[in-house]
Amino acid sequence: MLSLLVENRYAVTASVLFAVGFLHVLLHPDLIKKVLAFNIMDSSVFLLLASRGMIAARTAAILTDGGADPSRYVNPIPAGLVLTGIVVSVSVSAFSLALIQRLYGAYGTTDMRKILEEMKKRGE
Protein backbone atom coordinates (compact mmCIF):
# COMPACT_ATOMS: atom_id res chain seq x y z
CA MET A 1 0.00 0.00 0.00
CA LEU A 2 2.73 2.42 1.09
CA SER A 3 4.91 1.54 -1.84
CA LEU A 4 1.97 2.15 -4.15
CA LEU A 5 1.56 5.61 -2.63
CA VAL A 6 5.24 6.39 -3.00
CA GLU A 7 5.26 5.12 -6.55
CA ASN A 8 2.30 7.36 -7.44
CA ARG A 9 3.36 10.24 -5.19
CA TYR A 10 2.82 12.91 -7.85
CA ALA A 11 -0.63 11.67 -8.70
CA VAL A 12 -1.54 11.43 -5.00
CA THR A 13 -0.24 14.92 -4.26
CA ALA A 14 -2.07 16.25 -7.28
CA SER A 15 -5.34 14.63 -6.19
CA VAL A 16 -5.03 16.01 -2.65
CA LEU A 17 -4.24 19.50 -3.94
CA PHE A 18 -7.08 19.30 -6.41
CA ALA A 19 -9.51 18.34 -3.65
CA VAL A 20 -8.27 21.18 -1.41
CA GLY A 21 -8.65 23.71 -4.19
CA PHE A 22 -11.99 22.31 -5.29
CA LEU A 23 -13.57 22.45 -1.83
CA HIS A 24 -12.34 25.97 -1.20
CA VAL A 25 -13.63 27.28 -4.52
CA LEU A 26 -16.95 25.67 -3.75
CA LEU A 27 -17.33 26.54 -0.08
CA HIS A 28 -15.15 29.46 0.93
CA PRO A 29 -17.14 32.69 1.18
CA ASP A 30 -14.23 35.01 0.50
CA LEU A 31 -13.81 35.70 -3.20
CA ILE A 32 -10.07 36.42 -3.12
CA LYS A 33 -9.48 33.08 -1.40
CA LYS A 34 -11.61 31.47 -4.05
CA VAL A 35 -9.22 32.81 -6.70
CA LEU A 36 -6.25 31.45 -4.74
CA ALA A 37 -7.96 28.09 -4.38
CA PHE A 38 -8.72 28.02 -8.08
CA ASN A 39 -5.02 28.51 -8.76
CA ILE A 40 -4.14 25.66 -6.41
CA MET A 41 -6.64 23.47 -8.23
CA ASP A 42 -5.18 24.26 -11.63
CA SER A 43 -1.59 23.88 -10.40
CA SER A 44 -2.41 20.39 -9.18
CA VAL A 45 -3.49 19.45 -12.69
CA PHE A 46 -0.27 20.92 -14.09
CA LEU A 47 1.72 18.91 -11.56
CA LEU A 48 0.02 15.72 -12.68
CA LEU A 49 0.59 16.56 -16.32
CA ALA A 50 4.25 17.51 -15.85
CA SER A 51 4.99 14.43 -13.76
CA ARG A 52 3.37 12.14 -16.32
CA GLY A 53 5.45 13.71 -19.07
CA MET A 54 8.77 13.26 -17.26
CA ILE A 55 11.02 10.29 -17.94
CA ALA A 56 14.17 9.96 -15.80
CA ALA A 57 17.52 10.30 -17.64
CA ARG A 58 15.98 12.09 -20.60
CA THR A 59 16.15 15.80 -21.33
CA ALA A 60 13.81 18.43 -22.66
CA ALA A 61 13.26 18.29 -26.39
CA ILE A 62 15.58 21.16 -27.32
CA LEU A 63 18.16 20.40 -29.98
CA THR A 64 21.55 21.80 -29.00
CA ASP A 65 24.38 19.59 -30.18
CA GLY A 66 22.67 18.22 -33.25
CA GLY A 67 21.58 14.94 -31.70
CA ALA A 68 18.15 14.20 -33.17
CA ASP A 69 17.77 10.79 -31.55
CA PRO A 70 14.21 10.76 -30.12
CA SER A 71 15.12 8.32 -27.35
CA ARG A 72 17.21 11.04 -25.65
CA TYR A 73 14.30 13.42 -25.18
CA VAL A 74 10.98 13.46 -23.37
CA ASN A 75 7.70 14.11 -25.12
CA PRO A 76 7.35 17.91 -25.35
CA ILE A 77 3.56 17.88 -25.59
CA PRO A 78 2.81 17.74 -21.82
CA ALA A 79 5.03 20.79 -21.29
CA GLY A 80 3.16 22.54 -24.08
CA LEU A 81 -0.14 21.65 -22.48
CA VAL A 82 1.01 22.94 -19.09
CA LEU A 83 2.01 26.21 -20.75
CA THR A 84 -1.38 26.52 -22.44
CA GLY A 85 -3.07 25.70 -19.16
CA ILE A 86 -1.06 28.36 -17.32
CA VAL A 87 -2.02 30.95 -19.91
CA VAL A 88 -5.69 30.06 -19.49
CA SER A 89 -5.46 30.07 -15.72
CA VAL A 90 -3.62 33.42 -15.60
CA SER A 91 -6.17 35.10 -17.82
CA VAL A 92 -9.09 33.67 -15.87
CA SER A 93 -7.46 34.80 -12.59
CA ALA A 94 -6.97 38.29 -13.97
CA PHE A 95 -10.57 38.40 -15.12
CA SER A 96 -11.93 37.24 -11.78
CA LEU A 97 -9.74 39.69 -9.83
CA ALA A 98 -10.98 42.56 -11.98
CA LEU A 99 -14.54 41.39 -11.41
CA ILE A 100 -14.00 41.16 -7.64
CA GLN A 101 -12.60 44.68 -7.65
CA ARG A 102 -15.80 45.94 -9.29
CA LEU A 103 -17.86 44.02 -6.77
CA TYR A 104 -15.83 45.51 -3.92
CA GLY A 105 -16.54 48.93 -5.36
CA ALA A 106 -20.26 48.19 -5.36
CA TYR A 107 -20.59 46.51 -1.95
CA GLY A 108 -17.41 47.31 -0.01
CA THR A 109 -16.53 43.71 0.82
CA THR A 110 -15.14 40.60 -0.83
CA ASP A 111 -17.15 38.23 1.32
CA MET A 112 -19.86 36.61 -0.79
CA ARG A 113 -22.19 36.07 2.18
CA LYS A 114 -22.01 39.73 3.16
CA ILE A 115 -22.58 40.74 -0.45
CA LEU A 116 -25.74 38.63 -0.60
CA GLU A 117 -26.96 40.11 2.72
CA GLU A 118 -26.27 43.60 1.46
CA MET A 119 -28.16 42.85 -1.74
CA LYS A 120 -31.17 41.71 0.27
CA LYS A 121 -31.00 44.84 2.41
CA ARG A 122 -31.02 47.03 -0.66
CA GLY A 123 -33.87 45.01 -2.08
CA GLU A 124 -32.07 44.03 -5.29
Partner 1 sequence: MPFVRNLPYLCIFLCMLSAILLSLGPKAKFAYWTAVCVSAVCAAASLLFLVHIAKSDTAFAFTMGKFPAPFGNEIKGGPLQGLFATVFSLVMCLCLLGGKTELFEDVDEKKMGLACVMLCMVLASLLVLSYTNDIFTGYVFVEIGTVAACALVMLKDSGPTLAATVRYLFLSLLGSGMFLFGVVLLYALTGHLLMPQLTAAVAALAGDSAQRPLLALSLGLMTAGLGVKSAMFPFHRWLPDAHSSATTTSSAVLSGLVVKGYAVLLVLLYVRVFTLDTVRSLRVNDAVFILGFAGMILGSVRAIYETHIKRMLAWSTVAQLGYVFMGFGLGTAEGVAAACFQILIHAFAKPLLFVSAGRLSAVSGHEKQLSALRGSAWRAPLAGLGFGVGALSMVGIPLFGGFAAKTGLGLGALDGGMKVAAALGGLALSSVLNALYYLPALINLWSERPAEAARPARDRCCTLSVLLLAAGVLALGLCFKPVMDLIVRGLELL
What residues line the site for partner 1 (CB under 8 A)? 18, 21-22, 25-26, 31, 34, 38, 41-42, 45, 48-49, 52, 77-78, 81, 84-85, 88, 91-92, 95-96, 99-100, 102-103, 106-107, 112, 115-116, 119, 122, 124
Nearest to 14 by CA among 49, 38, 39: 49
CA–CA gap between residue 75 and residue 7 (Å, rounded): 21
Neighbouring CB atoms inside 10 A of 44's CB total: 21
Please state the length of the chain.
Answer: 124
